[in-house]
Amino acid sequence: MRSPYLTALLLASCSLPVFEQPVPVSEAVVQRVAFGSCVLQGQPQPIWSAIADADPDVFIFAGDNIYADTWDVSIIERKYRQLGAEPGYQALRSQLLAKGPGRLLATWDDHDYGENDAYRTYPKKRESRRLFLDFFEEPENSARRQHDGIYDAVLYGPPGRRLQVILLDTRYFRDAFDQSEEALKAGKKSGGPYAPTSDTKRTMLGKEQWAWLERQFEQPADLRLLVSSIPLVPDDYTTEIWAMMPHERNRILGLVARSGNTIILSGDRHYTEMSRMQHSQDGMTAPIYDFTSSGLNRIWEGGAKQTNRWRIEASHAVHNFGMLYVEYGEDPAVTVEALDESGKTLIRHRIRLADLKQR
């Protein structure tokens, strides 16, 4: 007899394109997730050993996986080869692949996409996409290969212990940010500092990715990890953050709040911090967490000192990675930790999934 869950899953998949049917990549339960961002290829990367010692079930690259910063496709390819030749990365990759399929995930940010602060106008984005997908060994028949950009979603585990990882693409479709008065007065033709736009026609994700994302939030999952290469909750910074497009930020915060089971993972900032805000919509309020881990071998001490009114733990400008320990059962929870390259815990915070519900 077909289970009620399977029937519901099949009915839901009927409305999706064939390449979007929500089939778990593995029925194995995933309870240890590592992630990180911002690794400069060719420079020392001792942190891979610390990540391997943490023994994650899955590792997620949250962007700036290399620093390409070029329009020369051969240079992008060479820098991926440099990362791939790093012994520590090779060892972690082998350790993960031995656990099963779908254990090494990635999205990109500006530097691996192509150049600093790049968005939809970057002229080599199609070539860069191909190199990204090839490096991370995306199958030729995968959903990711069937659409523009590199957004993706992966499911793990059986009902009751089902984890969904959603990887956003914040570069391929994104419109330009507005420069701040400071940048304009300095005569800068491009780049930050930035200021929030009032133009609600501008997009971060593009029409197709938005439609896809809304469908992903309809899929059955007990915990969702939403991976954004740039921070979503912080809104005090003048660098690349979702708050530069307030209408887009509010839209995605609404999705997260209504889901009642989503934690945001972000990168880019070259330090680690935990942010939490209360999001109110239609008379309902829910806490939203954004855990930033950056960088694997890049730091920005000045950035860590900047104001973030939503920060709930101290920021740390040291080489770091994030770990999430998932507890399923009657009172499911996630413990998030930021660790340095020696394995020392910098941040630790426990989140009960019941507390993420709208009230």
* pLDDT, tens digit only, all 359 positions of the chain: 334 333 343 334 444 444 455 568 889 999 999 999 999 999 999 999 999 999 999 999 999 999 999 999 999 999 999 999 999 999 999 999 999 999 999 999 999 999 999 999 999 999 999 999 999 999 999 989 999 999 999 999 999 999 999 999 999 999 999 999 999 999 998 899 999 999 999 999 999 999 999 999 999 999 999 999 999 999 999 999 999 999 999 999 999 999 999 999 999 999 999 999 999 999 999 999 999 999 999 999 999 999 999 999 999 999 999 999 999 999 999 999 999 999 999 999 999 999 999 99
| Tokens of residue 113, six digits | 């996409």
**Helical packing angle, 246-259 and 207-216, nearest 10°:** 10
Closest CA to 155 of 58, 251, 63, 56: 58
What is the chain's length? 359
Residue pair 95/193 in contact (Cβ under 8 Å)? The answer is no
Q: How far apart are CA 133 and CA 140, in angstroms?
A: 9
To the nearest 10°, report the CA torsion of 163, 19, 114, 89: 50
pLDDT score for 189 = 85
pLDDT score for 3 = 40
Q: How far apart are CA 85 and CA 197, in angstroms?
A: 42
Residue pair 113/124 in contact (Cβ under 8 Å)? The answer is no
The domain spans of the chain are 30-356
Paired sense of beta strands 262-266 and 178-179, if any: unpaired
Phi-psi region of 329 (alpha: psi -120 to 50; beta: other; left: phi over 0): left
| Tokens of residue 341, six digits | 């390259």
Residue pair 205/174 in contact (Cβ under 8 Å)? The answer is yes
- The CATH architecture to which 30-356 belongs is 4-Layer Sandwich (3.60)
pTM: 0.94
Closest CA to 131 of 181, 176, 68, 87: 68
Q: How far apart are CA 10 and CA 76, in angstroms?
A: 41
pLDDT score for 26 = 83
Closest CA to 208 of 196, 198, 216: 216
pLDDT score for 23 = 67
Closest CA to 104 of 113, 112, 114, 94: 94
Sheet holding 163-167, edge to edge: 152-156, 163-167, 223-228, 262-266, 284-292, 273-281
Q: How far apart are CA 190 and CA 318, in angstroms?
A: 29
